[in-house]
Chains A and B, each alone.
Chain A
Amino acid sequence: MVVIGKKKYQSGEGAQFLSRRSALKKLQLSLKDFRKLCILKGIYPREPRNRKRAQHGDTSIKTLYHKKDIQFLMHEPIIWKFREFKIFNRKVGRAKAMKEFGALRRYLNNHPQLKLDHIVKERYPTFIDALRDLDDCLTLCFLFSTFPSIAHVPREHSLLCRRLTVEFLHAVIAAKALRKVFVSIKGFYYQAEIKGQTITWIVPHHFSFEPQSKNEVDFKVMSTFVEFYVVMLGFVNFKLYHDLNMFYPPKFNSPGSTDTKLVDEEVYVSERIAALNSPLSSVNNATPAPEEELDTDQFPTEADPSQLELSRIEVEKVKKLKTLFKGLKFFVNREVPREPLVFVLRCFGGEVSWDKMLFVGSTFDESNESITHQIVDRPSMTKQYISRYYIQPQWVFDSVNARQLLPVENYLMGSVLPPHLSPFTDMLRDQTYIPPEQRALLDPEFKVKTAKDDSEESEAEEEGDDQPEIEQAETILEGESAEATENDISEEEPEITVTKTNDSESEQERLKKKKGMVVQQGQLTRENPWEKNRIEKQEYRLREKMIKKKHRNLYKSMMQGKEDRAKEIWLLRKKRRIHDSTEKEKRKQMRKEGKIKNTA
């Protein structure tokens, strides 16, 4: 009798995984094609919970795929396209070897082409899904648009990348969706908000291409990613343009310019589009692109009001940001990177132009008197106009990040720039010590006491009576605990007690009134502020007790951390105060000595 039992690895983890080799066998593809298919379809290798079981007892580390994933790949129609490619390659190889150049040309003209539309739809069922995954796509496309034609990156791919990225920039300009810019040593970091999704991407600096060593990056793999992302970006652009009521492929209404005698109309249009300087024409000119602005609805019952207030302020700030550079005219000098600056300025409503010989699409000359700002990046210029500011490019980026026009004094031509801070660190949410200088950068209304001011003041005062000026300069960041206690004020409790006392008193009063029937002036019941505070604290402590055991440790550590940070801030502030006062003393001493010398 054969014992019918369970065989090993027929179920469970042993049955769920396939090694790469067995996947290749199952799909009947070469490793090259399999890699490409996986990248295009978004199927990635997996790590099993128990490797030994997943590999049927083998403990060496293999690349494993989920069985269901491979079964999913089996249905893909582009597998047949891969086989077509194989045959195509064989034919081309043969024709080349036999020197049948006619046949070769015929084959090359009729090369098979992968169609990836359905895969884009499959991987991103909704437009929002596609937007969520746009970071990678944009970064790679921007990168590949700077590449020359090299092995595995045909010229048409890099050209297409360039076209699509420029189109995307136009969409961002039209939607006014840019929020943050950061110039790092790697490249330009941009952050935009489209349909409520934050999209971050990196654009390399100008002329940043450097040849790669072969074993560092697999170009074949990266170009496969780009092959997919190009299609995805194309469809995203299409959708974005249509949502903004613009033509896609983009058109722009060219004013009857003088240089109409052009050989190639297409080149003319694509160059103008690449200039980023002229608005694209919308489908019907009467209705401009719908703004995404919405009035924030009031839901007083739902969340706590402070949170709602914060979000309202945020919306207002963003609204203001969208028209940051409106009404300003900029001229970009030759030495300044044109594309990032034009993109940023146009995103916030600025008018931009540049030297005619630099790039097509400039709209006004340097000699135009209505220019308000000229962006220069050189220490000095011979010919300067008095009607405009000569500022360094960092002013633009810092203004965008501060969400308001910063004073230009620090950014004038030739001056040493203040540091360019990253907008991606959320400093205001953390409890961190911000020195007064940095705070002045973040918040232009805030004034730092510089040494000069100090000296002037002290001169006015003459004899030093130490005023707590520094106190004024200090910024106090409210701790969240204080906020929490404020928010949870229970106002009912004291009222009830008041009414109760009122009851007992009224009894007596009624009797009195019965006797006297005299109207006396009512007394205002005064709430004891200490009492109220005490009760609040008590309640707060009670609520703390009610925290579930599951979260108690977390809560404790949170509170501890908060306390520590507050302490650190206090310490740093104290250090600063001492430092400032000693410095002041020193200066005073110096001045006195100087005076004595002068008199002597």
Chain B
Amino acid sequence: MKEALNKKRKVSKKTKKSWRKHVDTKDVDNFLDEKRLEERLGAPFSERSDGELFAVDKSPEKKSELTSKQQRRLALKSKEPVCFAILKPHTAIPDPIAKRNRVKTPEERKNPITRRIQAMKRLNGQLKLKEIDANKNKALAEKKRVNKPKLGEFDKDIWMEKKKVHMDVQSEWLTSDTVRHTLANTGQKQKRVPLSLSNKPSVVPAVQAPHPGTSYNPSYTDHQELLAVVAKKEMELMKQEAHLDRVTTKMFKKVSADKKNDSWMQEMSEGLPTKSKTPDETSDTEDHDPNVKSVNPPSKNEKKPLVKRRKQKEQRQLELERKQAKVEKKKVADIYKIKKIATQISAKEKKEEFLRRIRAQTKERKIAEPKTLSKVKFEAPEPDFELAEELVGNLRNSKTVGNLLRDRYKSLQQRNILAPGTRMLKLNKAKVKKFEKASHKMGWEDTFK
């Protein structure tokens, strides 16, 4: 079988078509290829002498000039750009069609007469609408580019600049309302600056006077004062912490894991029929006990008899009369009680006065305190200080304490300029849970996990 396959099949080369199809022209093709290669590259290497192929390098070995970056760049610059390579012929073979047609540009294709007329028009300043538009846009872009504000360029006194006066509305015949209306409808509306802009949001100064104890070389008393302040604050904090500890953590006993588990089990199985308990028969009997009344018995719609209603009405009337009589009587009696009432009023006024004073005091105290601007409460920064052993007493060895940026940030919060907040470092995006449709499940995903 194999031999049969290897055997050359005999085909007919009767017709021209079949001849072409089955004739072996490989040798001819090879010869032609070789010829072409020879044309391109010259005679084959085998035929050429060594002298033609090789040259003895007699010049001293040159160091590559492109050592520095600059030289390399220079070389790169002087080299022909790569982008032009595509425009060059890639073979040495000349174009067989010497007079190849070139597509003319629209400008070249124009009639010379038309071209001349157009040039004349352009000279006269008659432009096409498209060109006019283009020129306009170019000028606009240039203007925009020039007027673009540059960072750090201050070349005018903004406080001496005069306000723009709208000449068209400067007339004694126009009322102020008319002026406002005209300006508003011509896109020059004057906005009113809110008063809050000129008022500072807090009375606290931007840079507070430093405590004398923060000097790099403080006097003993100043330093002790500062330390006392810091210590007092720290003590307060510790007290607070101790309190929180007492109120939360220490309220609970420490329990071993087993015990905890047991108690949990017990709590969770409360009221459930467990193995330890025998099924209660008493509860069953309780349910059917006729003596037990419901906590909320159903109401009945029982109508009151008319007599009862009348009597109730009479009673109400009587009560009202009695009340009125009492008030009348009190009016008469009050005349003799003036003194007592006066003392009551004065007592009340005194109390009000006291409360007013307290309120004024709290208001005054609150002026310097930061306001509540957000959910997060403002936390005053911890005071910067150096311990006595850290003080060196000369400028060279003293080191910076505290963070000035944090200080500024807190100061802005304290002055009600920034709302205190916690920075969100991670966005709480909802976690997307991925499912696979049962219909698309192929069964091998789990094995490759």
B-binding residues in A (CB < 8 A) = 42-47, 51, 60-64, 66, 68-69, 72, 75, 113-115, 117, 120-127, 129-130, 133, 135-136, 139-140, 143, 156, 160, 163-164, 182-187, 189, 200-202, 204-205, 208, 210, 212, 214-218, 221-222, 225, 230-231, 234-235, 237-239, 242, 248, 335-337, 377-378, 392-394, 416-417, 419-422, 424-425, 438
Contact = CB atoms under 8 A, between A and B. Distances in A.
A61 to B, nearest CB: 5
Contacts of A217: 405-406, 409
A420 B157 CA distance: 41
A217 B381 CA distance: 12
29 contacts: A43-B197, A44-B196, A44-B201, A47-B371, A51-B372, A68-B196, A113-B148, A115-B149, A117-B158, A136-B408, A139-B404, A156-B152, A160-B152, A164-B152, A182-B215, A185-B216, A185-B399, A189-B207, A201-B207, A202-B404, A216-B406, A217-B409, A221-B409, A238-B155, A377-B394, A420-B215, A420-B217, A421-B215, A422-B212
Nearest to B189: A75
Interface stretch (B29-37, B280-288, B412-420): B412-420
A64 B416 CA distance: 12
A347 B210 CA distance: 22
Given A184-B216, A222-B405, A438-B219, A416 B197 contact: no
B196 A69 contact: yes
Contacts of A214: 423, 425
A45 B421 CA distance: 13
A262 to B, nearest CB: 21
Given A66-B196, A184-B216, A186-B402, A377 B396 contact: yes
B210 A424 contact: yes
Interface of B: 148-152, 154-159, 161, 189, 191-194, 196-198, 201, 205-207, 209-212, 214-220, 222, 371-375, 384-386, 393-396, 398-409, 411-412, 416-419, 422-423, 425
Nearest to A212: B405
B210 A127 contact: no
A435 to B, nearest CB: 8
A121 B161 contact: yes
B152 A121 contact: no
A66 B381 CA distance: 28
A133 B201 CA distance: 12
Contacts of A186: 210, 214, 384, 400-402, 404, 407
Contacts of B401: 185-186
A221 B413 CA distance: 12
A420 B194 contact: no
B214 A185 contact: yes
B404 A44 contact: no
A239 B157 contact: yes
A420 B218 contact: yes
A238 B375 contact: no
Contacts of A44: 196, 201, 416-418
A189 B207 CA distance: 9
Main secondary structure of the interface of B (DSSP, over half): loop
A335 B396 contact: yes
B216 A47 contact: no
Nearest to B152: A160
Contact of A60 (B155, B375, B406, B412): B375
Contacts of B215: 182-185, 419-422
3 A-B pairs with the lowest CB-CB distances in the bound complex, closest first? A419-B219, A422-B212, A47-B371
Nearest to A113: B149
A163 B407 CA distance: 23
A218 B421 CA distance: 10
Contacts of A231: 154
A43 B157 CA distance: 25
Contacts of B371: 46-47
A55 to B, nearest CB: 12
Nearest to B147: A115
Nearest to A426: B209
Nearest to A242: B157
Contact of B422 (A129, A215, A237, A392): A215
B398 A68 contact: no
A397 B384 CA distance: 22
Contacts of A123: 197
A342 to B, nearest CB: 14
Given A62-B374, A135-B206, A186-B384, 18 more contacts: A44-B201, A47-B371, A60-B375, A61-B375, A66-B196, A72-B192, A113-B148, A121-B161, A130-B159, A136-B408, A139-B206, A186-B400, A204-B400, A208-B400, A212-B405, A377-B394, A422-B211, A425-B212
Contacts of B148: 113
Contacts of A204: 400, 404
Nearest to B391: A185
A278 B428 CA distance: 56
B375 A336 contact: no
Nearest to B407: A186
B222 A419 contact: yes
B194 A72 contact: yes
| Most B-side CB within 10 Å, residue of A51, A140, A164 | A140
Contact of A416 (B156, B191, B393): B393
